[in-house]
Amino acid sequence: MQSLNSPAGVDLNSLIRKTGTTLTRAFVGPGYRTIQCKVNFSTNQTTGKSFGSGHTSGPRYEWQSACSILAGKVESQQQNTADAAAVVNGHATIDLVPVEVQSTPIRKALSISDLSPSPMHGQKLRVSYQGVPGAYSEAAAGKAYPGCEAIPCDQFEVAFQTVELWIADRAVLPVENSLGGSIHRNYDLLLRHRLHIVGEVQLPVHHCLLTLPGVRKEYLTRVISHPQALAQCEHSLTKLGLNVIREAVDDTAGAAEYIAANKLLDTAAIASARAAELYGMQILADGIQDDHSNVTRFVMLAREPIIPRIDRPFKTSIVFAHEEGTSVLFKVLSAFAFRDISLTKIESRPHRHRPIRLADDANGGVAKHFEYIFYVDFEASMADVRAQNALAEVQEFTSFLRVLGSYPVDMTPWSPSSSAAVE
Helix, strand and coil content of the chain, in percent to the nearest 5, comes to: 30, 30, 40
**DSSP 8-state symbol, 280:** T
Residue 270 pLDDT greater than 70, yes or no: yes
Most confident of 208-212, 307-311, 322-326: 208-212
Mean pLDDT over residues 59-72, rounded? 55
pLDDT > 50? residue 24 = no
User: What pLDDT sits at residue 291?
Assistant: 87
Please determine, for residue 56, whether its predicted confidence score (pLDDT) is greater than 60: no
The pTM of the full predicted model, rounded to 2 decimals, is 0.66
pLDDT at position 181: 87
Span 362-418, pLDDT tens digits: 555 444 556 788 999 999 999 999 999 999 999 998 888 999 999 999 988 765 544
- 244: closest CA among 271, 205, 209? 209
Stronger pLDDT, 115 or 402, i.e. the higher one: 402
Higher pLDDT, 329 or 77: 329
Q: What is the DSSP string of 164-216?
A: HTTS-SEEEEEEEETTTEE-HHHHHHHHHS--EEEEEEEEE---EEEE-TT--
Q: How far apart are CA 96 and CA 296, in angstroms?
A: 71
**Average pLDDT of span 311-325:** 87
- Which pLDDT value is given to residue 329? 84
The phi, psi pair for 126, rounded to 5°, reads -95, 115
Residue 106 to residue 167: CA distance in whole angstroms: 28
The pLDDT mean for the chain works out to 76
> Amino acid letter at 10?
V
- pLDDT confidence of residue 367: 46
| 211-238: average pLDDT | 92
Q: Does the pLDDT value for residue 172 go beyond 60?
A: yes
Residue 10 predicted with pLDDT over 90: no
pLDDT level of residue 203 (50, 70, 90 thresholds): very high
Q: How far is CA 123 from CA 113, 145, 146, 229, in A?
A: 16, 8, 8, 32
How is 138-149 classified by DSSP, letter by letter?
HHHHHHHSTT-E
Mean pLDDT in residue range 112-125? 50
- Between CA 403 and CA 318 the distance in angstroms is 4
Query: Alpha carbon of 181 to those of 169, 178, 280, 358, 371: distances in Å?
Result: 28, 6, 31, 30, 22
Residue 399 is predicted with a pLDDT of 86
Q: How many CB atoms lie within 10 A of CB 222?
A: 15
**pLDDT at residue 264 above 90?**
yes
Q: What is the pLDDT of residue 397?
A: 87
Q: Which of 298, 314, 320, 374 is catalytic?
A: 298
How far is residue 173's CA from residue 61's CA, in Å, rounded to a whole number? 89
C-alpha dihedral (249, 129, 256, 204), degrees to nearest 10: 100
Catalytic choice (296, 320, 336, 378): 296
* 296 classed as catalytic: yes
3-class secondary structure, 1: coil
Residue 225 · residue 271 · CB < 8 Å: yes
